[in-house]
Amino acid sequence: MQKVAIVTDSIACLNKEHTAQYGIQVVPIKILFEDRVYHNGVDLTPSEAYKLLAKAPDYFATSPSSPSDYTSVFREIAVTERDIFCITVSSKLSTTFNVACLAKDIIKQEQPHTSISVMDSKNATASQGFIALAAARAATQGNTLDGVIKEASAVRDRVQFLLALETIRHAYRTGRIPKIATQMGSLLGVKPLLTISDGVVRPVGVVRSKKRGVERMIMNVRRKVGNNPVHVAVMHTDAPKEAKKLEQRISDEFNCVELFITEVSPIIGYSVGPGALGLAFYTDL
């Protein structure tokens, strides 16, 4: 049994294949629709959530995990006498980091011999997912908690993501998208190209269409990685066919050591809207 268990939240956009292969525990963020509470990725798939969002956007809301959600996961792991490393969505986008830290303090009182570390990924979506995957791979290789944290930190320092929106109609909802980006789109009839920097979503450019946004993303990736081996996740919000085409293009044009498609969590999709395409990527040292 590996020495360190990896925990993250559902905003990391990890595929079930990843979580099963590496034993990653995913704490779901909650989705509220009409009078029901759903758990992202557990009793509601991203595709199903986007259908609900399209059906009645004014009745669609999100809610962070509670300390009890994390304590139940941490407690279950602590029984196995493994250490715990938890990677959360950026603390500047969600209260999840603080919630996980509170749960850590509770479990440390119950199980003082269990080492628990909570990392603010300063990321979201698949860029957060890549950090969790790096941690999980280090754990499966038998690394201690310090070694796992070192590998995750190295990827956190290098991973990047870019997102091209289909529409800005949804961006006002949560405040996660900068107000200036939505104003630019409304006034000028353009679409912002988004990235994340120091844990905050920021506009990195504007384009007239999503097609041009995709071209700009590819150009940016090419400039930053060149011919170096690269890990890439193709992200989408309810646009699987477009994502598949983008995956093929990335495969043809880059030296990918890892490439997969993932659907952006509806928690993020709620504010970026359907039809968005994105790339998360990093190169090995």
Domains and CATH numbers, the chain: 4-29+64-157 (3.40.50.10440), 160-283 (3.30.1180.10)
> Alpha helix (H) ranges present in the chain?
16-22, 46-55, 67-78, 96-110, 125-140, 145-158, 179-188, 210-225, 240-253, 266-272
pLDDT for the residue 207:
87
Distances, alpha carbon 233 to alpha carbons 15, 136, 241, 282, in Å: 11, 17, 15, 10
The answer to whether 83 and 114 are in contact (CB under 8 A) is yes
Residue among 279, 213, 266 nearest 238 (CA): 266
pLDDT at residue 267, rounded to an integer:
78
| pTM of the complete model | 0.91
- Provide the residue-wise pLDDT of the chain in tens; the chain has 285 residues: 789 999 999 999 999 999 999 999 999 988 888 888 888 877 888 888 888 888 887 888 888 889 999 999 999 999 998 999 999 999 999 999 999 999 999 999 999 999 999 999 999 999 999 999 999 999 999 999 999 999 999 999 999 999 998 876 655 555 555 555 555 555 446 788 899 999 988 888 888 888 999 999 999 999 999 999 999 999 999 899 999 999 999 999 999 999 999 999 887 877 787 889 999 999 997
Q: What is the pLDDT of residue 187?
A: 47
Largest CA distance in the chain: 58
pLDDT at 63: 82
- The strands making up 30-33's β-sheet, listed across from edge to edge, are 36-39, 30-33, 60-63
215-235 b/e with 16+ CB inside 10 Å = b? ebbbebbeeebeeeebbbbbb
Least Cα distance to 129 among 26, 43, 202 occurs for 26
Half-sphere exposure of 197 (CA within 13 A, CB side): 6
Q: How far is CA 120 from CA 20, 22, 36, in A?
A: 23, 20, 30
